[in-house]
Structure 1
Amino acid sequence: MALNVENRALPDAPRTVVVMGVSGVGKTTLARLLADRLDLPFAEADEFHPPANIAKMSAGIPLDDQDREPWLRAIGAWLKAHTEAGTGGVVTCSALKHSYRDILRADAPDAFFLHLSGGHELVGDRLSHRTGHFMPTSLLDSQYATLEPLGADENGAVLDVGPSPEELVEMAVALLRPVNGDLA
């Protein structure tokens, strides 16, 4: 399912894409596949967290806006650097609130937000089977409570995570195709 497709004013140049959604929805899997498919640089938002944020989440304590701000600014700086370098890029980021996406857009105004959406039960099941990650399943409720859908003023689309990652990549590529251009 795709939303806000009419808002996608995509340039023909390499674009910046933020693959967003709650933890466990498949952001990293899809973002890596999409970056490979489009031959764009990739970054994992978790790598931008300061150690204090990781420790807090590992202890089952949700981050607040003050915790998230420097993390979001670091991701925004990555987007800006790749925009200015002309390479574009794909980055994962929960980007749960409109205000968080505003912080990212301050550095990358043309960023496209690809919101991966899935039901609580499905995502909870995925989280419960994930190993080696600091985000506990117990924080999923707080993420859903914080999540604000993409607004009509935001450049992006929503994809339901029911299909396979390969099918989702094909859907994402179709959404990112410039109106008067071709995309790999």
Structure 2
Amino acid sequence: MKVTVFLVVMLVVGCLSTDDILRRGSDSNSKTKRWDHSFNTKFGRENGVPYITGEYTLGHDNFETSIHGTVSGNGNWEVGASVEWRFKRNAKTNGKKLYNVSFQIDPCDFVTYDLDKNDEIVLGEMHAIFGDSEMALRLYIDMDGNGNAVIEKEEFYRQAPQFIKECTVLDPKGED
């Protein structure tokens, strides 16, 4: 039942968003910029239990929204949504082409957090990445498995799959 509800919600969101895009794009006098959208699904097996994940993303030059979710055969489910706005600085180009460059970092790579490249992560580096937030402190405390106020490289790779969601990815065979 949850799989059916999940699929129906994903399809409705996709259809409504696509309908809106097509209506805007069909207006030849419209000054609306191009909208991009994608719909991705993945079927797999984790510890012998089948699951399905899906994501619908709708993007614009400076705006992106997505809805995503997972439903497993044992009844576990998760649904989420995200919105992202990108602000650009206006610059005089003098006829030159400017490139829109964005970076995506790997949250499961030690060097992402080791800002001073001394092979250890301290609380200050977590705050530099996440700001002075409670979440940065909680993540730091959880990742510091031995409690010595420093996260070493081996410790990071041992703790990351336990506390960073993106680091719990399954291999293609569906095994941990």
The answer to whether TM tops 0.5 is no
Higher-strand-fraction structure: 2
Higher-helix-fraction structure: 1
Normalising to structure 1: TM-score of the pair? 0.21
- In our comparison, the structure showing a higher alpha carbon Rg is 2
Normalising to structure 2: TM-score of the pair? 0.22
Per chain length, whose mean CA-contact separation is higher, i.e. which structure has more relative contact order (CA < 8 Å, sep 6+)? 1
